[in-house]
Structure 1
Amino acid sequence: MKLPAYDVPTTPLRRRTLLQETTLVLLLSLGASAIYSVLSILRSLSAQVALNKQTTTMNTSRAPSAWLDLAYQLVGIGLGIVPALLVIHLLTREMASATTWLGLDGRRKGPDLALGAALAAVVGIPGLLFYLAARAMGINTSLATSGLGDHWWTVPVLILAAFEAAIVEEVVMIGYLYTRWTQAGWSWTRVWLTSSAIRGCYHLYQGFGGMIGNFAMGLLFGLVYRRTKRVMPLVIAHVILDIVAFVGYALLKPHVSWL
């Protein structure tokens, strides 16, 4: 399958400035997460317990009282989405509409939704099987994707957390980095592999299975973006995957033993 050419808008910024900008953006967001994830897996490997006997809890409670915990969750989600807003701002300085360029608008609601749902199915079912296999092989921790307890706001907060993760990861890792690194003169293959590798690294806290699975997801999403020039289907797919993982875990954990 021949991929279409990937052209980006011209920029007055020099290559060095572009690389400095992308480095700073990453260190303020998902690049920092990648560094902490490396430290996390080193800590897990140094424990006297097998990796698949350890549990990684996501979306954890942050305060003893329900209302204060809710406030922490909402503030965390709100501030967490700032890196996506920042890169849109940075791109908007050089183009009429960064959201249009990134394909993050509502011009193709039906096709975006259909493609996003299809991608979620393609990634989600094999992804669950790979997670179970990785645990069985001892290369991944057990994931508890919700540690918020049983509150009236648990499901809405988990849904908001899914939107935050999807928007930040796809806007920054795909739309922004693919644009900036191409403007800096990187080849398509170098951009594709580097972005996917960083995606894998910031999921390393889950174990090596999480890293491998998300690296593969980054490769797939990168190919889809090059063909469609739209981030929105990727965001939709990611939202669906995370809602199923977060909310599904919260609802099913009391009733099944294999999660």
Structure 2
Amino acid sequence: MINAMTDSRTGQEAPDPADDEPPAPALSGPAGDEPPRTSALPEPAPLSRRMLVGEVLVVLALSLGASAISATISFIGAITARVSLSRQTASLITSRADGRPWLDLAWQLYSLAFALVPVVLVVYLLYRSRESHRTMGFDARRPAFDALSGAGLAAAIGAGGLLVYLVSYQLGLTVQVKPSALPENWWTLPVLVLQAAKNGVLEEVIVVGYLLVRLRQLGWSPAAAIALSSVLRAFYHLYQGVGMFFGNLVMGVVFGWFYHRYGRVMPLVVAHTVIDVVAFVGSIYLIGRVDWLPGG
């Protein structure tokens, strides 16, 4: 409704007396205070070269870089022992609570879950820099390509790796590798499959996908980045002996080239998972039952 009155003498609208009233004083006290004005948060600064280098070093120190140092110390201990490498054993997956299967299972699941935290970290860091897991091809957009190419890589690398292991063991350059030392339980096979998947995700996402993305952003050439990735992979397998060091070096070169060619880490995750499933599960049924496999 229009709030106006008509002057009877002029026939014109007279102003509303209320319009001449002074404005109400502003309320004082807590109830009348205006909400405080918050300043906008500053935009994150772009990643500098120094920040990228620091980020990579922190990620590696929390994951496979630390494993490389641990494996090197373990190897030094092995080659300075009084027995030859071929008489020593490296067990990859062991019981965490002998004779207590439920507690052992809890420990196995705990180790699986927290071993993947570095993967969560690198995905988070990629999002922080306005990238994502898709930047390194860690997604399910091409399932057929990932499965088929991963299976092919698994067959080639797996067969070659087994040959390197057998020859280097006969030459005394590699320890006896016992993939699984878990006792027989209803959960043994599922845990071994999960361990294999964990290895595939952890190693390929960090040492290939993430590392090669960051090294490219730092201006490294593809050849230099693949070389560093491969050497890192070889060193964190050094505890298995000299033969497996070079076997994993070759694996790193092949996987690094594949990633550079296709820009997807998922086929490498598939390949690594398949290789480890065959090794972990196969060791249960083959070691001690065939003459050509060490450890019987």
TM-score of Structure 1 vs Structure 2, range by shorter chain? over 0.9
Alignment match of 1:73 (pick from 108, 113, 122):
108
Per-residue CA deviations over 1:101-146 (Å, capped at 9, x if unaligned) read 2111111101110000000011011111110000011110010000
Counterpart position of 1:89:
124
Matched, 1:210 2:244: yes
How far has the Cα of 1:254 moved from its partner?
4.0
Summarize the alignment of residues 119-198 of structure 1 with structure 2, pairs less than 5 Å apart: 119-198=153-232
Counterpart position of 2:62:
28
Counterpart position of 1:14:
48
The amino acid that maps onto 2:57 is T
How far has the Cα of 1:208 moved from its partner?
0.8
Larger radius of gyration, structure 1 or 2? Answer: 2
Per-residue CA deviations over 1:179-199 (Å, capped at 9, x if unaligned) read 111111222222110111010
More helix by share: 1
SS at match of 2:90: strand
Change (3 A) 1:254 1:140: closer
SS at match of 2:220: coil
SS at match of 2:94: coil
Structure 1 unaligned spans of 5+: 1-10
Runs of 4+ residues deviating >3 angstroms:
none
Counterpart position of 1:228:
262
Per-residue CA deviations over 1:31-70 (Å, capped at 9, x if unaligned) read 0000000000000011110111111111011112111111
- Tell me the distance in 2 between the aligned counterparts of 1:179 and 1:141: 34
Counterpart position of 1:116:
150
How far has the Cα of 1:226 moved from its partner?
0.8
The amino acid that maps onto 2:240 is Q
How far has the Cα of 1:176 moved from its partner?
0.5
SS at match of 2:93: coil
- Tell me the distance in 1 between the aligned counterparts of 2:110 and 2:189: 16
Q: TM-score normalised to the size of structure 1?
A: 0.93
RCO greater where, 1 or 2, for CA within 8 Å and sep 6 or more?
A: 1
- Tell me the distance in 2 between the aligned counterparts of 1:56 and 1:242: 15
CA RMSD in angstroms, aligned pairs only = 1.1
Counterpart position of 2:284:
250
The number of aligned residues is 248
- Tell me the distance in 1 between the aligned counterparts of 2:230 and 2:248: 8
SS at match of 1:138: coil
Given that 2:238 and 2:245 are in contact with CA atoms closer than 8 Å, whether structure 1 keeps it comes out as yes
Counterpart position of 2:10:
none
SS at match of 1:58: strand
Structure 2 unaligned spans of 5+: 1-44
Matched, 1:57 2:81: no
